[in-house]
Amino acid sequence: MQYTLSILVENQAGVLSKISGLFSRRGFNIDSLAVGVTNDPGVSRITIVANGDEYVIEQLEKQLNKVIPVIKVKRLNDGDFISRELILIKVHCAASKRSEIIKTAEIMQAKIVDVAQSCVTVEYCETASRVETLIDLLRPYGIREIVRTGTVAIDKGTAAVSV
Amino acid sequence: MISGAEIMVKCLEAEGVDVVFGYPGATICPFYDKIYDSDIRHILVRQEQNAAHMASGYSRCSGRPGVCVATSGPGATNLITGIATAYTDSIPLIAITGQVRSELLGRDVFQEADITGACEPFVKHSYIVKKTADLPRVFKEAFYIASTGRKGPVLIDIPMDIQENEIESFEYPESVNIIGYKPNTKGHTMQVRRAVEAIRNSKRPVIVSGGGVLLSGVKPKFRKFAEKTQIPVISTMMGIGVMPSEHELYLGMLGTHGKTVANRALHDADLVIVCGARLGDRAVASPHQMSENTLVIHIDIDPAEIGKNVKTEIPIVGDMKNVMNMLLDTIGDYVVPNQWQETVKTWKKDFFRNPPVFDGFVEPRTLVAHLSSMLRSKAILVADVGQNQIWCANNFRIRDGRFLTTGGMGTMGYSIPAAVGAKFARPTRDVVVVCGDGSFQMSMNELATIKGNDLAIKIIIMRNHRLGMVRELQDKNYNCRHSATVLQGDPDFLKIAEAYGIDHAEANSNEEAESILKGVVKSDKPFILVCNVYPDTPSI
């Protein structure tokens, strides 16, 4: 089962290593991890997407709560949150294939952000599953490089993860 | 103006620290120069790991965080085993380490080690101090974190320049405000009500006492609850001492090395009330030890322990002290059904047996069983790790004193330094160490600390020339192939004692051992008794 955790932490040295260390130490697997400062400069928000059964997730939440600089841990409920991931994909692109790739990007509502002799770079900001779809569509052309931010997520409606 | 080092000492004074255990080195020298002028006693150990164990023994007997100090690099890394030992047993500890100058951090200079990084899995929290002005807040927070919630070690790593730099004035904060640390100590009323309901409906309840009962200082109330309801009590290794061993309701330690009667009661119970215990794999090795329909109430300060090892129907997160008060207030007139009381009492008689005696040797289990009657009621027994630990856990007849051992980490060499800490915390109590010839040699260098401070600690070495517990494991699982478990080249322990100027004797029978001990246990000097034990004596 895949789940998304939003974690608010005090913005201090070593927090990230405390959290990532906890995952490896207790044998939990991380699919993606994204971190950035919030509207309060003293507080950062970490979004972790991970896999595990109910027992593992519950243990993980409890262990995260024990880390002193962790302020809040929230498991986001399926369907009740918006999630996005930013990806940049550099694709091989002979002149003859260029319009085909541009068309694919257009259909997916992705942007071409750089064009060179033999490749184009596509920028895409979507849910992780849409991102996967785009990668699948572009794979036949030959992918040179991929860089992804990891998923960030926020509750729908008025619900919020705040201090 | 006041220097960081002076501030460190003042912080310790403000926390009421009267003794610290440590070993100096270059990067912690500014602190050592200042503590020289302080009323705080500094106890020089012979290896840093023992400083952490001493702080642990001190903490467990005083109820306050113990403090240990080491220099950067190897001094700090030597502390790790002691810190990890305290962490597993939830013992509040403050470990202070010197660190290389801030501007040299990360450049692999002489005696530099990333100690906060290395200790990450074993500390409740750690600090590397970046500004001298932060020191008072860091110390205040460290003591608060170590001694509240689920207790544990906190590490403060302080670069040398931070100790040397001066600031205007010293002011110790009155309170802490850590936004991410607000431990829940009050039990949930609704959950307590559910627990009481379950207890009142139970036919065969049993209480499991863990180290948490001792850590929260709720021993008298706990006994009152057991006596009022007549619920039989079994304990984990860390919970030994919650009930006097000879109390009619006490059945002994549970688990793979525990008492048959305790395990039987756990197996047959319809309700298990787990109090301040995490029920590690040595306590409840497999779910089969409990029947499938057993209802579990788990009371613990750490929510992460509840449901981790044992399926729990009624979780109660809170300090044992608060929860026990709530239970006492609401339990009413419930008393365990007669039949269960009788059944348990019969088992207790049936399962008792006297260990066989081998001529020319001391029977360790019998000696430990008789030890208590030679000591005052509040005596502290410190057991090491190995067969000696099991002999003590199952046979020492504790009254109002303490049983100290490392339950979670099982660190050999713990007993002698922990006894030193215990003696500093409780100078008027009898402090006795029971260790094996293997574990004795892991920390016998601290005999110097005992002698140097005139500590009246009595050390009983159970000598079987073996690493007995591993050897037992090899007998059972490795076709009796005794790989590396026979101790060769051991020194004459009596001569070692003599070299340290410590009185000593050797015993080859229980009568001999007991008559020697009777003469020395209450003296104000240290003593070493070497007991020759039959090598095939089993743990249980």
Q: Report the residue of A43, A44, A66, A163 to disrupt the B interface, i.e. the one with the largest count of B CBs within 10 Å.
A: A66
Q: What angle do CA B273, B277, B280 make, to 5 degrees?
A: 115
Q: What is the pLDDT of residue B349?
A: 83
Q: What is the pLDDT of residue B286?
A: 63
CA-to-CA distance for B406 and B83, rounded, in angstroms?
A: 12
Amino acid identity of residue B530, one-letter, is V
Residues of A in contact with B178 (CB under 8 A): 68
How far off is chain A from B40, nearest CA to CA, in Å? Answer: 29
Q: Give Cα separations from B489 to B114, B466, B492, B499 (angstroms).
A: 37, 12, 9, 18
Least confident of A72-81, B56-65, B416-425: A72-81
Q: What is the pLDDT of residue B396?
A: 96
Contact B65, B143 (CB under 8 A): yes
CA-to-CA distance for B116 and B440, rounded, in angstroms?
A: 30
Q: What is the pLDDT of residue B289?
A: 65
Q: Does the pLDDT at position A69 exceed 90? A: yes
CA-to-CA distance for A17 and A19, rounded, in angstroms?
A: 5
Q: Is the dihedral of CA B223, B225, B230, B231 positive or negative?
A: negative
CA-to-CA distance for B143 and B11, rounded, in angstroms?
A: 10
Lookup: tokens for A127:
């849910």
How far off is chain B from A65, nearest CA to CA, in Å? Answer: 8
Q: Could B121 and A59 be called an inter-chain contact, meaning their C-beta atoms sit closer than 8 Å?
A: no
Q: What is the pLDDT of residue B308?
A: 87
Complete domains list, chain B, with CATH: 2-165 (3.40.50.970), 189-350 (3.40.50.1220), 364-532 (3.40.50.970)
Q: For B304, which residue in chain A has the nearest alpha carbon?
A: A62
Q: How many residues does chain A have?
A: 163
Q: Could A71 and B121 be called an inter-chain contact, meaning their C-beta atoms sit closer than 8 Å?
A: no
Contact B274, B280 (CB under 8 A): no
How far off is chain A from B453, nearest CA to CA, in Å? Answer: 38
Q: Is A79 helix (H, G, I), strand (E, B) or coil?
A: coil
The per-residue pLDDT for range B205-246, each reduced to its tens digit, is 999 999 999 999 999 999 999 999 999 999 999 999 999 999
Q: What does B145-179 look like in DSSP terms, one character per residue?
A: HHHSSS--EEEEEEEHHHHH-EES-----S----T
Contact B429, B378 (CB under 8 A): yes
Q: For B308, which residue in chain A has the nearest alpha carbon?
A: A59
Contact A134, A108 (CB under 8 A): yes
HEC-encoded secondary structure of B131-148: CHHHHHHHHHHHHHHHHC
Q: Could A10 and B180 be called an inter-chain contact, meaning their C-beta atoms sit closer than 8 Å?
A: yes
ipTM: 0.89
Q: Does B181 touch chain A (CB under 8 A)?
A: yes
Residues of B in contact with A58 (CB under 8 A): 307
Q: Could A14 and B116 be called an inter-chain contact, meaning their C-beta atoms sit closer than 8 Å?
A: yes
The CATH class for the domain spanning A2-76 reads: alpha beta
More confident residue, B380 or A20: B380
Q: Could A68 and B120 be called an inter-chain contact, meaning their C-beta atoms sit closer than 8 Å?
A: no
Please report which helix (H) or strand (E) contains residue B268, including its range.
Answer: helix B260-268
Compare CB distances from A69 to B117, B180, B304 and report the shortest one's residue. Answer: B180
If we measure between CA atoms, which residue out of B354, B386, B374 comes closest to residue B529?
B374
Compare CB distances from A21 to B121, B125, B308 and report the shortest one's residue. Answer: B121
Q: What is the pLDDT of residue B350?
A: 77
Q: Could A66 and B302 be called an inter-chain contact, meaning their C-beta atoms sit closer than 8 Å?
A: yes
Q: What is the pLDDT of residue B31?
A: 98
Looking up tokens 């880390």 gives A67
Lookup: tokens for B526:
């240290």
Q: What is the pLDDT of residue B348?
A: 86
Helix axis angle, B338-350 relative to B260-268, nearest 10°?
A: 150
Looking up tokens 């059904």 gives B337
What CATH superfamily classification does A82-152 receive?
Answer: ACT-like. Chain A, domain 2 (3.30.70.1150)
Q: What angle do CA B101, B105, B111 make, to 5 degrees?
A: 75
Compare CB distances from B179 to A10, A18, A65 and report the shortest one's residue. Answer: A10
The per-residue pLDDT for range A145-154, each reduced to its tens digit, is 999 999 999 9
Q: Could A163 and B302 be called an inter-chain contact, meaning their C-beta atoms sit closer than 8 Å?
A: no
CA-to-CA distance for B256 and B286, rounded, in angstroms?
A: 10
Q: Could A68 and B145 be called an inter-chain contact, meaning their C-beta atoms sit closer than 8 Å?
A: yes
Q: Does B184 touch chain A (CB under 8 A)?
A: no
If we measure between CA atoms, which residue out of B82, B93, B103 comes closest to residue B17?
B93
Q: What is the pLDDT of residue A85?
A: 97
Residues of A in contact with B124 (CB under 8 A): 68
Numbered ranges of CATH 3.30.70.1150 in chain A: 82-152
Q: Is the dihedral of CA B285, B291, B293, B299 positive or negative?
A: negative
Average pLDDT over residues B340-351: 88
Q: What is the pLDDT of residue B282?
A: 77
CA-to-CA distance for B412 and B512, rounded, in angstroms?
A: 27
- Banded pLDDT at B435 (limits 50, 70, 90): very high
- Banded pLDDT at B288 (limits 50, 70, 90): low
Q: Could B180 and A9 be called an inter-chain contact, meaning their C-beta atoms sit closer than 8 Å?
A: yes
Amino acid identity of residue B141, one-letter, is E
Lookup: tokens for B489:
């080249």
Q: For B146, which residue in chain A has the nearest alpha carbon?
A: A68
Q: Could B179 and A70 be called an inter-chain contact, meaning their C-beta atoms sit closer than 8 Å?
A: no
Q: Give Cα separations from B457 to A21, B447, B504, B522 (angstroms).
A: 41, 10, 12, 10
**End-to-end Cα distance, chain A:** 28
How far off is chain B from A71, nearest CA to CA, in Å? Answer: 4
Q: Could A62 and B303 be called an inter-chain contact, meaning their C-beta atoms sit closer than 8 Å?
A: yes
Q: What is the pLDDT of residue B18?
A: 97
Residues of A in contact with B179 (CB under 8 A): 10, 71, 163
Q: How many CB atoms lie within 10 A of CB B257?
A: 18
The per-residue pLDDT for range B241-267, each reduced to its tens digit, is 999 999 999 999 999 899 999 999 999
Amino acid identity of residue A52, one-letter, is G
Q: Does the pLDDT at position B70 exceed 60? A: yes
Q: Does B116 touch chain A (CB under 8 A)?
A: yes
Q: What is the gyration radius of the CA atoms in chain B, in angstroms?
A: 24
Q: Could B304 and A59 be called an inter-chain contact, meaning their C-beta atoms sit closer than 8 Å?
A: yes
Q: Does the pLDDT at position B287 exceed 60? A: no
The per-residue pLDDT for range B464-481, each reduced to its tens digit, is 999 999 999 999 999 999
Question: What per-residue string of b and e applies to B506-529 under the rule 16 or more CB within 10 Å gives b?
Answer: bbebbebbbebbeebbeeeebbbb
**Strand pairing of A119-126 and A70-76?**
unpaired
Q: Does B124 touch chain A (CB under 8 A)?
A: yes
Q: What is the pLDDT of residue B292?
A: 76
Residues of B in contact with A67 (CB under 8 A): 180
Q: Could B180 and A63 be called an inter-chain contact, meaning their C-beta atoms sit closer than 8 Å?
A: no
The per-residue pLDDT for range B133-183, each reduced to its tens digit, is 999 999 999 999 999 999 999 999 999 999 999 999 999 999 999 999 999
Q: Does the pLDDT at position B314 exceed 90? A: yes
**End-to-end Cα distance, chain B:** 62
The per-residue pLDDT for range A21-56, each reduced to its tens digit, is 888 888 888 899 999 999 999 999 999 999 888 888
Q: What is the pLDDT of residue B283?
A: 77
Q: What is the pLDDT of residue B256?
A: 87
Q: Does the pLDDT at position B285 exceed 70? A: no
Looking up tokens 């509207």 gives A39
- Compute the mean pLDDT over every residue in chain B, rounded to the nearest whole number: 95
The per-residue pLDDT for range B107-138, each reduced to its tens digit, is 999 999 999 999 999 999 999 999 999 999 99
Average pLDDT over residues B325-347: 94
Residues of B in contact with A21 (CB under 8 A): 120-121
